[in-house]
């Protein structure tokens, strides 16, 4: 037995619920970010347990279907782990790249004037939006850098 397509409906107080083909409703309480991933895992397991609990005793579910669903869940979980590791690696690579710019001259578009400006990178800070360069007292996001040269090479 497998759960066929689900349908989203609003609960009594506006909270989202999911209803299976057997009429069993579950309230989705996922929030943003990592909590959503955890809630998705919990929701999947809740659906799987409810599917086993409410199955028709005269027509029990095939055990291979549960094995297939569990294997699929494991694959999705491992793919999420790979994606998280890749994101962490990219973040570290950006941090190391930005750190290597200290003491170099960079050209960038100044957000206040809209003109191309250049200066020497004095330091790097790391915020939620990624590395931010301190170019002669101006905060410049790493993505705004147009050109990098050795110190004193930009005119």
At residue 20, the pLDDT reads 46
Q: Which two tokens stand for residue 11?
A: 């609960």
Q: Which helix (H) or strand (E) holds 43?
A: helix 34-53
CATH 2.30.30 fits 100-149, yes or no: yes
At residue 154, the pLDDT reads 58
Please, what is the end-to-end C-alpha distance for the chain in angstroms? 72
Residue matched to tokens 């005119």: 155
At residue 38, the pLDDT reads 66
At residue 52, the pLDDT reads 77
Domain extent listing, the chain: 7-95, 100-149
Q: 51, 63 in Cβ contact below 8 A?
A: no
At residue 36, the pLDDT reads 62
Mean pLDDT, 10 residues at a time, the chain of 155 residues = 43 43 45 59 81 79 78 88 93 89 91 88 88 91 89 62
At residue 74, the pLDDT reads 86
Cα 79 to the center of its chain, rounded Å:
12
Task: For residues 105 and 121, give the distance between their C-alpha atoms in angstroms, rounded to a whole number.
Answer: 6
At residue 89, the pLDDT reads 93
At residue 107, the pLDDT reads 93
């Amino acid at each position: 037995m497998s759960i066929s397509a689900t349908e989203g409906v609003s609960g009594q107080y506006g909270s989202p619920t999911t209803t299976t083909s057997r009429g069993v409703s579950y309230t989705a309480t996922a929030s943003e970010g990592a909590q959503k991933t955890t809630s998705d895992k919990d929701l999947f397991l809740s659906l799987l347990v409810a599917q086993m609990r409410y199955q028709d005793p005269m027509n029990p579910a095939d055990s291979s279907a549960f094995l297939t669903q569990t294997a699929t869940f494991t694959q999705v979980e491992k793919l999420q782990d790979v994606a998280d590791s890749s994101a962490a690696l990219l973040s570290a690579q950006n941090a190391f790249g930005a750190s290597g710019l200290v003491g170099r001259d960079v050209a960038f578009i100044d957000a206040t004037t809209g003109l191309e400006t250049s200066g020497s990178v004095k330091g790097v800070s790391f915020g939620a939006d990624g590395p931010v360069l301190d170019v002669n007292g101006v905060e410049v996001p790493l993505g705004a850098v147009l050109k990098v040269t050795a110190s004193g090479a930009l005119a």
